[in-house]
A and B are shown apart, each in its own frame.
Chain A
Amino acid sequence: MPGIYDRVIGELPAAEKPVGNQSQSQSQVQSQSQSQSQSGFDSADMRQFPGTQTPVSQQGAQVVPEKLEDPTRFVGRLNGLTPQAVQRRLLQSQTMIEENAIISPAWAQDQTADSAQPRPWPLDAVPFVLTAEEDNQLHEALDQRARVLKVLLADLLGEQRFIRSGLVPAVLLYANKRYHRAYQELSQDLENGLTMYAADVAQADDGKWWVTGDRTQAPSGLGFTLENRVAAARAHPDLFWPLQVRRHVSFFMSLNQRLREAAVPAGASPSSAGGRIVILSEDMQAGHRAFEDGYLARYLRHARVEGGDLAVRNGRTTIKTIGGTMPVDVVFRRINDDQCDPVELDSTSTQGVAGLLESVRNGSVRTVNALGTQLVESPAWLAFLPALCKEIYGEALKLPSLASWWCGQAKERRHVLAHLDELNLYPAFRTGAKPIDTRLLTKERRANLIQDIKQHPEQYVGQERLRRATTPVWENDRLTPWRWSMRRFLVADGKGAFESLPGGLVRVSPDPAVLDDATAASVRVQDCWVPSEDAINTSTLLAPKDQPLAIQRVGAELPSRVADNLYWLGRTVEQAEFAARLLRMVLGQATDDQDVHDQPQLPIILGHMAQAQQIGSSVVDENGRLQDGFAETVVQSALAPGLNDNLRGLIREAMRLAQLVRDRLAVDAWRLLTRMDRFVTAAANRPGGAHPTDVLALMNHVVLEFVAFGGLMSESMTRTLGWRFMDIGRRLQRAQLTTGLIAHTLVRPSQDEAAVLSAVLEACDCTMTYQARYRAVMQAPAVLDLLITDDTTPRSIAFQLNQLDDHVAKLPIEGDLSGPSLHIRVVDRALGLVQKADPMNLAGVGHVTQRGGLNALLEGLGNEFPLLDQALSSRYLIHSGMPRQFNWWAKSNRANSTPSQGGAR
């Protein structure tokens, strides 16, 4: 009886076949999953792979490698699991991924829509198994391919002898719209220009392997691959460990080693001290790359930075930190070539660093990969690699590219036009483009396309449509065969060859068209396991045990952008907590057995909440009376989607900010925020609307989560500058919120003030302290002392200012400054105001109906807080604005001579 886990296992072709000539003669078809009744595929409507006469499902016998069939091992164990067990493991790994915040690109795109939940990158419950022999053969073939591309690249950016000898047409370089002459003017280490390389490979359902595309500038997927491994290994420890799955760590050690070597000027001997290495990533808004780069950065232990974090100063690339600018030696860039420098490359790019190329030219910084590596990943090259490989190494390509026809050549163009509907059409010089399937085009668009191919033939490549092999995935509580594709990663080994990451990133989909689009978001991935008999390398990226570690404490290397986000995270969390406390109090009083109209504090507090836009303003009528059903209205507006300042909006904003600094936060802190977001969204989406009593219970939970968050901050976060900025945000926000609440509720004493005093105490979490001191007697001076002047209460304004005073004194001071900085003076002034205040005077009501002294104090504080915010922002947080182009507004500076009068002589 066949096991439920088997995959089409094929052999690598012994020798390369001429591209475009796909004779499938001897390759054996060994197995097939499509023949199984549960497959769900209707193979009749699918095109046969070229050369095969009969559907593969009728050929061959099923062969599963012995090792995998061994019931004590992989297949046996997997087959022995109940669907419930698999489901449990799936959930387990998904929860883990979610908490590690690997978010699929789809979320990044629609995160502005409030309904969008962060959706984890879907990892399948079942791993993909690649045999050690396949892994080895893929390694050998792709090592050869990487070496060919490396030589080609060095030649294109250097001597160009392949063009001059006519081996490759010059148009392959010049028709590439992303080619910039600047690439040829950089003093780059072309010999080692290709440090990282990735190839997309596929297996046809006849067992043959093909390369479908190359990635040479900044291959994506490495972070996801890392993440998948951690999740899958934890979900299936009983399967993973006995299989002796080949580990990833050696690959990443080599990558780190190459990065460290790049920090050393050519010729010098590498020292372990090393330079500063940063990982330049897209910004979080730009796409999914940022998330996986964050994971990669944490694993490799380098800082993930964005273009705005770097600046070229005095010819050197530097990173902007709270403590000033620090030189950078290596930029491991995860963005495209032409995005790297708006001065010389794509001037519209906002992801790069102005002046980076000059800094590369003067040799003070290296980029990995070198700039211009994009040139050799174009699909147009696929057809030329066999000849290049022959020319360079005198050997055939070990693994052929999927048959591709570049229309820049007459014969190939005719072939593509004659077989248009059988091919996938790709732009010749763009990777990651969605292929064009001409069968899906309207008549008119098809005609236009043909016209365009004839006009600009060099911009098109036709590629064989591959009938991909299948692998089992977990779908609808059972194993189901889906198509798959694999991205393999290679890194230079420092000795002229390449090292492979065992396995790779496997994408699976029931729809092969999705896999042909190498960047499609909506696919599932599998962790790829290579079971082996090798001794497993158990090393890790941690320092060796016997190497003494240099003692490190707090450093000033906090990027200004990160400090800015942490500061606003602190502010936003505080604001959200305050909103939750107010909501809890209001709902508690509205739902108890006392008549709401006998509670004078309710309209006052609700008025304050409306002013802060935590709720809509419509619950109190013109006479200051509560409207009927106000509690429902309050709940609805506090949980309504799409608003900025209600509880839901604040929690969502805290999530967004936390996401931006995900690599600086404890996993638990992230968990707390995601949980709150999930609770609140679930309550809001409850059929029939959220009920006040349910939300009251929910608020008890939410407030607890905030308390936990505060506890984490004070007990688990190291006192780095990052923590300091986050705490400054919290303290400042708390002081500001308390000031605002008192100003709104207590400056003009109401008839029955005891109820209002009591409500304010509760909102500020001071009820218990107050009762311990004064029992149930509510008096304004005692309340004001507790909320404002008592510096032993962690909720008082005085306490916040003391904390701020301590923080600002410890911020780094750069340069020679006469006298204390503005932010220190602001805090001193505010502290002075509070220290001078006397609670008895504050509570005193003069001949008018308001507390003049209290009002003056609150107004004074209210003026200082925004000043502190500005002083900190301009000093530490904002180092740059949006870069602008000289040419954008230089229309009148362009060459625009009028025809000279009467012509020049």
Chain B
Amino acid sequence: MRYRIRHETSYAYGHPVSICHNQLRLTPRAGRFVKVLSAKVNINPAPTTQNTRLDSFGNRVHVFSIEHAHDDLHVVAQSEVEVSPRPTLADTSVSPSWRGIKRAASRGALRASAEEVDAYLFDSPYVRRSHELAEYAREIFAPWDDIFSACVALTTRVFLDFAYDPEATGVQTDSTEAFALKRGVCQDLAHVQIAALRSLGIPARYVSGYLRTLPPEGQPRLIGADQSHAWLAVYCGQELGWVDLDPTNNLVVQTDHVPLAYGRDYADITPVRGVYIGGGQNTLGVSVDVEPVFDVVSKT
């Protein structure tokens, strides 16, 4: 599946901003099933300084500053990616036992693999392990042996237990708070499921990205109506690697999701973060467009 993605963020300030320092994580993350064909970020007004680098998780970061007075800021990230189908797991025999993963993780035995797992086993700013969440996960996991099936079952459980409610939580809500509320947005659901898995001793990481949305039957696709999204990935052993799960939509990630960055939680990979001086009252506009490209004509 090929997508053309355009993500525009606009800030209009009530008073001029004299200076800002920012970091963007808006470049799609290449991986086993994701090929990034092109990616660019345009910033207006032209930044005083800008550069890009990889962070310690391997995500592409754009760093820029604007050091003169400006009344607005536009960030447009455009990319084209190819997402290939992941093998469907009809045969769960390739999925190792979750108890085995948990044991190996606690002994540090997963460390031998090339993947970093230690960072995803413990608390992080938004993810807090607890007995309660361990119980929550264990109840689902107990009947299962293979980790894939158990995690799919947990994803369904989180999907059913939580009400989607953008008003209930804020950008600072952590997993404990969201779990108590049983409400929230995709970020909260992902944090809760990650916390549940880590409470059990299973490595789980946060993924930010985009989701292709389908228009209602018989209606045209609306440009810019998509939104940024978040889900999680579970470490399922050397062979399966990290398996992406989307509790907001109760599904195993296939070709409708485009990842931007991996991290321990939202705090590690906030798509846009920074500090500015001045500004007064502001208005923010975000538009995301994930356009499927069906007729693939190769261009040079």
Contacts and interface: CB of A to CB of B under 8 A. Distances in A.
Given A163-B118, A355-B21, A896 B187 contact: yes
Contacts of B213: 897, 900-901, 904
Nearest to B268: A181
A899 B256 CA distance: 13
B37 interface: no
A893 interface: yes
B9 interface: yes
Given A898-B164, A901-B216, A904-B213, A181 B277 contact: no
A902 B213 CA distance: 10
Interface in A67-124: none
Interface string B196-216: 000000000000100111111
B272 A886 contact: yes
21 contacts: A311-B19, A312-B21, A314-B49, A342-B275, A343-B22, A343-B273, A344-B23, A354-B274, A361-B53, A880-B277, A882-B277, A885-B273, A887-B272, A888-B171, A896-B185, A897-B211, A897-B227, A899-B248, A904-B213, A904-B254, A905-B256
Contacts, number: 175
Given A181-B56, A902-B214, 15 more contacts: A163-B111, A174-B118, A175-B122, A314-B49, A343-B23, A347-B273, A355-B275, A361-B53, A884-B277, A884-B279, A886-B273, A893-B284, A898-B227, A901-B216, A904-B212
A890 interface: yes
Of B57, B124, B170, most A-chain CB atoms within 10 Å = B124
Chain B contact surface mostly: mixed
Interface string B234-251: 000000000000001111
Contact of A886 (B63, B67, B125, B275): B275
A893 B23 contact: no
B130 interface: yes
Nearest to A904: B256
Enumerate the 3 nearest inter-chain pairs by beta-carbon distance, A residue then B residue, closest first. Answer: A895-B230, A904-B256, A170-B118
B119 interface: yes
Interface string B164-203: 1010001100000000000001110000000000000000
Contact of B170 (A181, A355, A455, A891): A891
A313 interface: yes
Nearest to A898: B164
B44 interface: no
B270 A313 contact: no
Contacts of B57: 181
A883 interface: yes
A888 to B, nearest CB: 8
A888 B118 CA distance: 30
Interface string B47-84: 01100010111000001010100000000000000000
A885 to B, nearest CB: 6
Contacts of A358: 21, 63
Given A185-B56, A893-B286, A900 B211 contact: yes
B118 A896 contact: no
A886 B214 contact: no
A177 interface: yes
B102 interface: no
Contacts of B271: 893, 895
Of B21, B118, B187, B216, most A-chain CB atoms within 10 Å = B21
B55 A894 contact: no
Contact of B187 (A312, A894, A899): A894
Contact of B55 (A166, A185, A885, A898): A185
Nearest to A181: B56
Interface of A: 163-164, 166, 169-171, 173-175, 177, 181-182, 184-185, 311-315, 342-344, 347, 354-355, 358, 361, 454-456, 458, 880-905
Given A895-B229, A898-B164, A904-B214, A887 B276 contact: no
A472 to B, nearest CB: 47
Given A181-B56, A904-B211, A904-B214, A890 B277 contact: no
Q: How large is the interface on B (under 10, 10 to 19, 20 to 34, 35 or more residues)?
A: 35 or more
A169 B105 CA distance: 12
Contacts of B257: 904
Contact of B9 (A171, A347, A355, A893): A893
A313 B67 contact: yes
Interface in B4-36: 9, 18-23
A894 B275 contact: no
Given A181-B56, A343-B21, A886 B274 contact: yes
B141 interface: no
A506 to B, nearest CB: 38
A24 to B, nearest CB: 36
Contacts of B56: 181-182, 184-185
Contacts of A458: 122
A886 B65 CA distance: 13
B171 A899 contact: no
Nearest to A459: B123
Contacts of A890: 171, 272, 284
Contacts of A311: 19
Interface in B212-238: 212-216, 226-230
A458 B57 CA distance: 24
Contacts of A355: 21, 65, 275
B38 interface: no
A387 B35 CA distance: 46
A174 B122 contact: yes
Nearest to B131: A455
Nearest to B230: A895
Contacts of A896: 166, 185-187, 227-228
A905 B211 CA distance: 11
Contacts of A175: 122-123
A885 B266 CA distance: 16
B121 interface: yes
B251 A883 contact: no
A163 B130 CA distance: 24
A358 B21 CA distance: 10
A860 to B, nearest CB: 31
Contacts of A170: 108, 118-119, 121-122
Contacts of A347: 273, 275
A311 B251 CA distance: 47
Contact of B65 (A169, A312, A888, A899): A312
Contacts of B96: none
B21 A905 contact: no
A314 B48 contact: yes
A184 B119 CA distance: 13
B171 to A, nearest CB: 5
B21 A887 contact: no
A311 B277 CA distance: 11
B282 interface: yes
Contacts of A343: 21-23, 273-275
A39 B293 CA distance: 87
Contacts of A899: 164, 248-250
Contacts of A454: 131
B164 A881 contact: no
A293 to B, nearest CB: 24
A873 to B, nearest CB: 15
Interface in B255-269: 256-257, 263-264, 266, 268
Contacts of B119: 170, 174, 181
A882 B286 CA distance: 25
